[in-house]
Structure 1
């Protein structure tokens, strides 16, 4: 289906963003390739859009073609070692996939429950939550190479440069994910529970495995408490999730002094330390519900990492609030926060 001048706001979890010159709903991998090839042949810019959960679109919209992934479906193959290969179309709703695997008695994905968006975006961002990252499960992907005009099948995960919330696919649109394959353990238990908050919610020690349905329900409960499970009636979920990534710094650059007392930190590689962005934001003086321009946007009332649309906001309002938060953390701690969502036609 092709629409001219369609507003993009209804297709983003922020409910923000201007119109697309042309919006194409692509219901298969072949339809994605066809739409992109047509736009490339016409010399039009292309925006690839999945669930719209990790994107901030300018109020002016997109002057070219937006290709929205509507391909869906998945299948499983039992492997000789007892594990299961999960083959998923890029447009499959991520949480629907997680729910289906758990219902089918397969563990591995349950800690990534409640994350909005499409499956094809998960390796691009190396999505992670509650101690599990896509990098641990990903086998390979099928990609459409726009420059060569060909499909590359079974590109190994090792070639994708998977890192903290990033990959070699992030920030580029010449390699388009069409299909994703994961390896799951093949039993009904969860991945090891590494995240202390989740372990406490489940009443187990870190490192334990529990039935995958129990882990999924606990994760969903924790996410709901932070406004991180989509709910059209709850403006705290009208967001792009965590707006800022947890900064990773050389140990020598970690803030010191009285203002940094109690600052949590975790090892992030040789000589590197990861800091919690939420702690930095809160201790820079920003509280839950902190309003942006006119109260049209605000920090979530449940979690300071989420910037939310309160129902009458604009992208420009959201960016003004993001700049205020970023400047406050920079002034207080000398740390520059970086946005996690993709900014389309706009910048901080």
Structure 2
């Protein structure tokens, strides 16, 4: 294995280690004991297994767009996944385009490449920050699509065996913003459980259509001027989604860093999925969408966390002029106005979640991963 991965940090584990905040879109969080930038798969595997062998806690960071790290920092090894590489396995009318991307590849760059080549199935996921490796963990989704619809396989490092393991998409137990890669955890260092699997790459099977998958989200359909279920050029979907996301302050790139509404982790709370009793207790006018059935066959209903937040009295910009506030464009995003600490964001998140529970009777939960802290 190569040993050229960039490594910085303090061997003593002092608080003078490398900063984590610049690696995240929220730009908060204290120092790490050690930071390793893994640019190749060998470096990634070596860094993970090395930390495990040393008994050090491990934190993997891709694009950092789904992390809230405590002000105290992380007393362990942070591995920034910076692996690159995209390869086309096959491309034919029968099987579509089979495309494999390294875990560290930028997700939106892969979507842009798919649209440019006429491969459809991920166009509605345009503009989502972060890296390819995070997408199957969270079953990343937006505007009626999620990656479970196109993932063929995910190749991982199993931290228990130290060997590679490849999962078929059907074996990943995908659910709403979850998968077995997120839920299957193991206590390698004391009582603290960490993810068992580290994503090395993901393979997607995309249609050779040139036109989008059926438009499945009403807001997107309205933007495109079509009915739900219609297909349009994939490039039109990408352009419409990017415009919608920009209007909500959810395009995270160099051109938008001046806008503190983009200093967020995207949607901070997931949309609640409720059983019949919970759905019946929703406030009048709350959105209700069919969400399949529960483990006992009961019908499930998904509602809108953003609607609940605003209904509970937390409108866009709530918290201003404080250091942490709801986005002025989208009530579901908690933002750092430039000087916030993790504690400020957590206090705001608790206030919002408690208010929704008290006024709407629904518990909303965080979507970003909380490191060294909790709600």
TM-score by shorter chain over 0.5: yes
- Aligned-residue offset at 1:79: 4.1
CA–CA separation in structure 2 for the residues paired with 1:221 and 1:160: 32
What do the CA deviations read for 1:112-168 (whole angstroms, capped 9, x no partner)?
000000000000000010000111111011010011010113x11111110000011
Q: 1:40, CA displacement in angstroms?
A: 1.2
How far apart are residue 18 of structure 1 and its match? 0.8
Distance in 1 separating the partners of 2:359 and 2:50: 49
Q: Deviations over 1:16-52 (max 9, x none)?
A: 1111110000012211100011111111111011100
Q: Which residue of 1 aligns with 2:296?
A: none
Residue equivalent to 1:132: 145
- Map 1:50-69 onto structure 2 (within 5 A): 50-69=62-81
Match of 2:355 among 308, 328, 338: 328
With structure 2 as the length reference, what TM-score do the two structures score?
0.90
Q: 2:21 aligns with which of 9, 17, 39?
A: 9
Contact 1:79–1:85 at 8 Å: present in 2 too?
no
Alignment-derived partner of residue 342 in structure 1:
369
Q: Aligned to 2:42, what secondary structure does the other structure show? A: helix
1:254 is displaced (CA, Å) by 2.1
Q: Which moved more, 1:139-148 or 1:96-105?
A: 96-105
**Structure 1: 5+ residue runs without aligned partners?**
none
Distance in 2 separating the partners of 1:161 and 1:28: 28
Q: Matched residue pairs, number?
A: 344
Is the 8 Å Cα contact of residues 27 and 72 (structure 1) preserved in structure 2? yes
Q: TM-score, normalised by structure 1?
A: 0.96
TM superposition shift of 1:80: 6.1
Match of residue 108, structure 1, among 102, 109, 121 = 121
User: How far is the alpha carbon of 1:105 from its aligned partner?
Assistant: 2.3
Relative to structure 1, is the Cα distance of residues 256 and 147 closer, same or farther in structure 2, using a 3 angstrom cutoff?
Answer: closer
Structure 2 counterparts to residues 250-269 of structure 1, below 5 A: 250-254=275-279, 256=281, 260-269=283-292
- 2:101 pairs with 1:88: yes
Kept in 2, the 8 Å contact 1:255–1:333? The answer is: no
Q: Kindly state the Cα deviation for residue 11 of structure 1 after the two structures are TM-superposed.
A: 0.4
* Unmatched 5+ stretches in structure 2: 1-5, 10-16, 186-194, 294-298
Query: For the residues of structure 2 that align with 1:110 and 1:254, how far apart are their CA atoms?
Result: 31
The runs of at least 4 consecutive aligned structure 1 residues that moved more than 6 Å come to none
- SS of the residue aligned with 2:156? strand
Provide Cα deviations, 1:56-75, integer angstroms capped at 9, x if missing partner. 10011110000110001211
Residue 255 (structure 1) shift: 5.2
The two structures, once aligned, show a CA RMSD in angstroms of 1.2
Does the 8 A contact of 2:281 with 2:361 survive in 1?
no
